[in-house]
Structure 1
């Protein structure tokens, strides 16, 4: 008789724990990156006896009730909320962001609410540093995984080359100007002129003026005269470009131009003018060049691409790839335990994640946050079910009490 009291009592405890799980899910319906939990019930066995009759087993099993043996996380994708903050990020697919605390512990999270601190470190709302790879000057990942830092300024860089890029073009229909000697002050002695800005080691801008003169239509030849900083009295470089019958460059590139600065602020600059990307076809003149120098720039904006590359834009017009986010995943995500504040840790240090760059197993959605995946309708249904189950177990205890009272009344 007393066993049934304890059996019903285990039911009360189990349903109470289930209600705790349900209420936790409902309470976290607006928690960014939250993954709902589900209670797993296990039955208890009070006694088990097996007898045989005519060689056949007869089982007598009396259960001892129930308990919540485990909780299982639902790692399904949550919906995305648009925030328009480029440092708010959501993972579209598998994996976790990696953040590192000041005591050296690496945590895993689906909450991508990040920001830059005063030092340019990318951190989460708890001040933990987001992990990834820093990129070198050509955009390759360098070194091991570490904290991501976005420089607040870009230092000046001296120009070493100027490259002509497609669709740069010299118009093959331009008239040949071989009769008169070239004079930069006389526009009738050249066909086309364009300028490009270059920088010295202090970040001072300087102008290179390139004059193009069509000298021979048969050999598709052009003379190039280079002047600096508006000084048309001193030529700082020259070359001759030749093109084949299909308009491809066949000679004259590259040429090295030594630019003597008029202000004497720095030493002379040696700039390589590279015309490999230029063509000569029957089309308008187009001048499109890139160069590797820049003035000092201050951080203006940060953006994040789908493959987790963090780009910084500076006031000098330069955009630089700074770092790439690291994304971790686990073969068995159930080894992860909640540590509060959106964070997870493996329940054993021997379990190491598979780490890969962003964009490999999941896309990075910048300007968005992944909301909780709690289904309110399902949780309300579970809430009603748990409430009824609790009431039923309480009714069992009431019934047991009535039966026990009747038993006590037998001796009256």
Structure 2
């Protein structure tokens, strides 16, 4: 008779623990990136005996109640909340963000509330540093996995190369000019256009490109290019001859070098290579479109994160720089992850190696969004009622057992 008391107690204990899990899920309904837990019950055996009669087994099995064998996490996708903060991130799909504390421990999380600290590091609400890879100027990953640092300022870069690219065009319908070129006389050239370049201190300088058509024949056309700096029309800093075939394709004249002499304390002289290989000469209006590789000092004015996890810094000099690409980790068996509080997980063995990929491969990175808790309130309320009734039923078993035991005691009387 006493066995039924202990059997009912296991039911009380198990359902009490289930209520604890349910209450934890409900309490975290507004926790960013929270993943709900569910319980798994298993039965206990108090007595099991098998006998045989006429070679037929006869089983006598009396259960000893139930217990919670384990809790499992529901890693299904939570809905997104728009925050309009570019450093708030959500993973649309598989994986976890990787963050590292000051002791070097790497944690895994779905909570993407990040910000820039005073050093330019991307950190979560607990100051742990978001992990990723640094990118070079061409967007290639360099170095090992490490913290993501966005510089608050970038130093000036001297201009070393100018590229005249498509759709740059010299109008083939232009008249040939036989007069000697004079930058002060507009009748001695066909076109002029200007662009800005930078010295080693980041000072801007204006280069003016003058184009003069000097010849046209059955085999093609010839143009002269003259370059002046900072409206100083007395000192030519470079020149070149451009030859085009009858199809308007450049046949000679690229590249050429500009030699600049600066008097403002910057590196002197400064040489700039001008690549004109993309210039065309067709019957269309004159177009001047040039790129150059220099810029002035820039201060950070904004951060953007692309779907592939590339973090860009936007600077006051107009430069948009690829800074880093964040890392996304996943595990073959996510039940190996153990909750450590503060929305953080760790594998239950330090030798359990995650699968680490750049953002955008396992999942897309949503900038300006946060992933909400995936707790289903309606389901939790149903579980709450079920757990409550199960607890009450087990308590009633104990009450009934007590009444039966009392009747047994009354036999003696």
- TM-score grouping bracket, smaller chain normalisation: over 0.9
Determine helix, strand or coil for the equivalent of 1:4. Answer: helix
| Distance (Å, rounded) in 2 between the aligned partners of 1:392 and 1:222 | 98
Aligned counterpart, 2:261: 260
Q: In the alignment, which residue of structure 2 is the partner of 1:183?
A: 182
Question: 1:337 Cα shift?
Answer: 0.3
Q: How far, CA to CA, are the matches of 2:132 and 2:3 in structure 1?
A: 58
| C-alpha distance 403-197 of structure 1, shift in aligned 2 (>3 A) | same
Asked whether the 8 Å contact 2:15–2:387 carries over to 1, the reply is: yes
Aligned equivalents of 2:265 and 2:372: distance in 1?
Answer: 59
How is 1:354-373 mapped onto 2 (pairs within 5 angstroms)?
354-373=355-374
* Partner in structure 2 of residue 84 of structure 1: 84
Report which stretch shifted further, 296-305 or 271-280: 271-280
Q: Answer yes or no: is 1:323 the counterpart of 2:324.
A: yes
Contact 2:221 2:245 in 1 (8 A): yes
Deviations 1:178-233 (A, max 9, x none): x2111111112111111111111011111110001122233222110000111011
Determine the C-alpha separation between the residues in 1 that align with 2:130 and 2:87.
11
Cα distance in 2 for residues equivalent to 1:244 and 1:40: 80
Matched, 1:346 2:347: yes
Q: Matched residues in 1 for 2:405 and 2:174: separation?
A: 113
How far apart, CA to CA, are the structure 2 residues paired with 1:96 and 1:151? 25
Structure 1 residue 382 displacement after superposition: 0.7
Q: Which moved more, 1:134-143 or 1:95-104?
A: 134-143
Partner deviation per Cα, 1:226-248 (whole Å, 9 max, x = no partner): 00111011111100112233322
2:245 and 2:59 map into 1 onto residues whose CA distance is 97
CA offset digits 1:387-412 (Å, max 9, x no partner): 11111111111111111111111122
**What does the per-residue CA deviation read over 1:47-74, in whole Å, with 9 as the maximum and x for residues that have no partner?**
1000011101111111100111100001
Q: Distance in 1 between matches of 2:138 and 2:23?
A: 51
1: CA distance, partners of 2:146 / 2:323: 13
- TM-score, L = length of structure 2: 0.98
Which of 70-79 and 286-295 deviates more? Answer: 286-295
- CA distance, structure 2, for counterparts of residue 217 and residue 84 of structure 1: 58
Task: Specify the alignment match of 2:381 in structure 1.
Answer: 380
Report what 1:209 is aligned to: 208
Please state whether the residue corresponding to 2:356 is helix, strand or coil. strand
Worse-superposed segment, 347-356 or 240-249 = 240-249
Query: Are 2:333 and 1:335 equivalent residues in the alignment?
Result: no
Tell me the secondary structure at the aligned position of residue 390 of structure 1: helix
Give the whole-Å Cα distance in 1 for the aligned partners of 2:216 and 2:26: 80
What is the deviation of 1:268? 1.0
Instruction: Measure how far apart 1:361 and its partner are.
Output: 1.1
Q: Are positions 1:400 and 2:401 aligned together?
A: yes
Look up the match of 1:48.
48
Question: TM-score, normalized by length of structure 1?
Answer: 0.98
Measured after TM superposition, the shift of residue 278 of structure 1 is 1.9
Q: Distance in 1 between matches of 2:248 and 2:39?
A: 73
TM-superposed deviation, 1:81 = 0.6
Pairwise CA RMSD of aligned residues? Answer: 1.0
The Cα shift of 1:138 comes to: 2.0
1:271 aligns with 2:272: yes
Find the residue that maps to 1:256 and give its secondary structure: strand
- Could you tell me which residue of structure 2 aligns to residue 156 of structure 1? 156
Q: Which residue of 1 aligns with 2:18?
A: 18
Question: CA offsets per residue over residues 236-293 of structure 1, 9 Å max, x none?
Answer: 1100112233322221011011111244543111000111222122222111111111
Report Cα offsets for 1:83-117 as digits up to 9, x if no partner.
Answer: 00000000011110000000010000001100010
The answer as to whether partners of 2:200 and 2:266 remain within 8 angstroms in 1 is no
Structure 1 runs, 4 residues or longer, greater than 6 Å off:
none
Does the alignment pair 1:137 with 2:137? yes
Which consecutive unaligned segments of at least 5 residues does structure 1 have?
Answer: none
- Cα distance in 2 between the residues matched to 1:37 and 1:118: 37
Local SS of the residue matching 2:145 = strand
